[in-house]
Amino acid sequence: MRTLVTGGAGFLGSHLCDALIAQGHDVLVLDNLVTGKRENIAHLAREPRFQFEEKDICEPFAEKFGEFDFIFHLASPASPFDYAGHGIETLRVNSVGTLNALEAAKKWNAGLLLASTSECYGDPLEHPQKETYWGNVNPIGPRSVYDESKRFAEAAVAAYRRYHNLNGKIVRIFNTYGPRLQPNDGRVISNFMRQALQGEALTIFGDGSQTRSFCYVSDLVDGLIRMSASDSAGPVNLGNPGEFTIRECAELVLKVTGSKSKLKFEPLPQDDPKQRKPDIMLAKKILGWEPRIALEEGLRLCLPYFQQHAQAATV
Ligand code: UDP
């Protein structure tokens, strides 16, 4: 199998590459490094079955890199901090970039899996979120560059299935964490771990009663690979249904790090979803998948990474 991973130098993409290489795939990564990092894939540089090209997939690429059997389309800024800072790039990669990825899949008769997002549900009025829920998204708010372009990307995959019979698949990924998260990417786990380890106050936005559900990266990668091999088109939710308030999350980080940091309350960003929890019945049924690593265990697993990288990080 020759597999293309767009965005393969990112947090999730690089872990996916590790798993694909371990399973014997030939892997090509296209990434323009807008938020991806060479360090994430540096350990694969000597692997003969691994190839990295610095490339913006907003330019057509179907003819340039030979044939492949499957495309994991992950390229996009993904943390609220990153997509706010790269709003137009986010719109472009999820629209133009997705169309280019679909054209490449069509040309080579390859399957394609789109890494979509729980953000498609917006600030959800249905809880937990099932795949059948259409969402509550502000089309012009600060998150819209991400939410709406991912919704466009889903529509594009659905259209290529419908009009070209393409083997396109959609997964909706909920908050995921683990080693290689950038300690300064602004995400809640990265911020809290870095702050706790540097002895700074943990910044809770709002009153900390909003909830999220956090999936450890190895569980998520397992779900992606199962989905790629399945007969299902999705959309399928992938995430850990364990639901925590942000305040509980802060307290767990303090426990795991042994930090004496205080909590500091800051204003809640506009359109910040109040609650988020995946219904994963569908993934259980069609993929035989469910996460195995609970939040406290996962935080312990990525503690050494944050201990190594927190000090160097500037915000
Ligand atoms: N958050 C927080 N403090 C931080 C960073 C984030 O309280 O330092 C909150 C944020 O307002 C949101 C939740 O944590 O309610 C998750 O934020 P994140 O940026 O990780 O991703 P989101 O799920 O909002 O896309």
Provide the number of structural domains found in the chain. Answer: 2
116-161: pLDDT as tens digits: 999 999 999 999 999 999 999 999 999 999 999 999 999 999 999 9
3-state helix, strand, coil in the chain (%, to 5): 40, 20, 40
213-226: pLDDT as tens digits: 999 999 999 999 99
| Candidate from 212, 261, 271 with most ligand 1 atoms within 8 A of CB, to mutate | 212
Take atom 6 of ligand 1 and give the residue whose Cα is closest.
Answer: 188
| Statement to judge: residues 246 and 140 lie in one domain | no
Residue 287's Cβ-count burial label (10 Å; 0-12, 13-18, 19+) is: buried
Q: Which atom of ligand 1 is nearest to the CA of 175?
A: 23
Take atom 12 of ligand 1 and give the residue whose Cα is closest.
Answer: 272
287 in any annotated domain: no
CA 239, CA 217: separation in Å to the nearest integer?
A: 10
Helix H or strand E encompassing 22: helix 11-22
Q: Is 146 a catalytic residue?
A: yes
| Statement to judge: residues 43 and 129 lie in one domain | yes
Backbone angles phi, psi at 219, to 5 degrees: -65, -45
| Statement to judge: residues 130 and 260 lie in one domain | no
Structure tokens at 74: 């992950």
Residue 266 Cα to ligand 1 midpoint, Å, equals 11
pLDDT of residue 311: 74
284 in any annotated domain: no
Backbone angles phi, psi at 5, to 5 degrees: -120, 110
CA 243, CA 214: separation in Å to the nearest integer?
A: 8
| Statement to judge: residues 269 and 144 lie in one domain | no
152-169: pLDDT as tens digits: 999 999 999 999 999 999
Name which of 140, 125, 150 is nearest 235 in CA terms.
150
| Statement to judge: residues 138 and 38 lie in one domain | yes
> What is the residue range of 259's domain?
177-212+242-276+292-307
Residue 313 has pLDDT above 80, yes or no: no
The model's confidence at residue 310, banded by pLDDT at 50, 70 and 90, is confident
64-89: pLDDT as tens digits: 999 999 999 999 999 999 999 999 99
| Statement to judge: residues 162 and 188 lie in one domain | no
| Statement to judge: residues 55 and 199 lie in one domain | no
229 in any annotated domain: yes
Take atom 1 of ligand 1 and give the residue whose Cα is closest.
Answer: 188
pLDDT of residue 150: 98
The model's confidence at residue 312, banded by pLDDT at 50, 70 and 90, is low
CA 63, CA 41: separation in Å to the nearest integer?
A: 24
Looking at 83, 121, 133, 146, which residue is catalytic?
Answer: 146
Q: Which atom of ligand 1 is nearest to the CA of 119?
A: 25
Domain at 257, CATH number = 3.90.25.10
**Mean pLDDT of the 201-211 span:** 97
206 in any annotated domain: yes
pLDDT of residue 233: 98
List, chain by chain if needed, residues with CB within 6 Å of any ligand 1 atom.
79-80, 175, 186-188, 191, 203-205, 210, 212, 246, 268-269, 272
Domain at 17, CATH number = 3.40.50.720
| Statement to judge: residues 145 and 194 lie in one domain | no
pLDDT of residue 1: 92
313 in any annotated domain: no
| Statement to judge: residues 142 and 130 lie in one domain | yes
| Statement to judge: residues 204 and 129 lie in one domain | no
| Statement to judge: residues 186 and 112 lie in one domain | no
Residue 187 Cα to ligand 1 midpoint, Å, equals 6
176-195: pLDDT as tens digits: 999 999 999 999 999 999 99
The model's confidence at residue 315, banded by pLDDT at 50, 70 and 90, is low
| Candidate from 123, 144, 185, 188 with most ligand 1 atoms within 8 A of CB, to mutate | 188
| Statement to judge: residues 131 and 202 lie in one domain | no
pLDDT of residue 262: 97
223-261: pLDDT as tens digits: 999 999 999 999 999 999 999 999 999 999 999 999 999
Helix count and strand count (H, E) for the chain: 11, 13
